Amino acid sequence: MRKFMHAAVAAGAFVMASAMPALAQAPESDEPIILTLHDWSGQYITTTIMGNVLKSMGYNVEYVQADYLAQFAGIETGDLTVAMELWDTTAAEALAASVATGNTIDLGETGMQAKEEWWYPIYMKEQCPGLPDWQALNDCAELFATP
């Protein structure tokens, strides 16, 4: 259980959690499994699903809001247990560095297909000719420079 408590799980934990009921009748520990929460809805969903799976298996689960990249330090020290969703475009290097410490385990991918899109208000199409081509943003960056 101690090794699991130090694991960073890139969503492959779904598979592990699904198999665990057949492997064990009772949790190995009553120490909390601390799942990280980040600022996008998909991550909240996958983390909540994992938390509910673990709770149904009798584990003590806590959710902690964590900085996306700083979470790796918490995982390495054991202050955080599981990160359910990471993006290759923003966290691959940080995950690799954390795994290299020997205190983090990457259990792999979930197989979910991410879709990242950019949106803008329709009135900006008049103010920024060339949209939706992202290169048009170079000519009207100042329009998007303030909240």
3-state secondary structure of 62: strand
DSSP code of residue 114: P
Determine contact, residues 30/58, Cβ cutoff 8 Å.
no
How do residues 96-142 score in pLDDT, each as one tens digit?
999 999 999 999 887 888 777 788 889 998 999 999 998 998 999 99
The matching CATH number, chosen from 3.40.50.1370, 3.10.105.10, 3.40.50.300, 3.40.50.720, for 2-100 is: 3.10.105.10
For the whole model, what pTM was predicted? 0.66
The residues spanned by each domain of the chain are 2-100, 117-147
What rounded mean pLDDT belongs to the chain? 83
Q: pLDDT-based confidence at 23, cuts 50/70/90?
A: low
Give the contacts of 83 (CB within 8 A, at least 6 positions apart): 8, 9, 10, 35, 36, 66, 71, 75
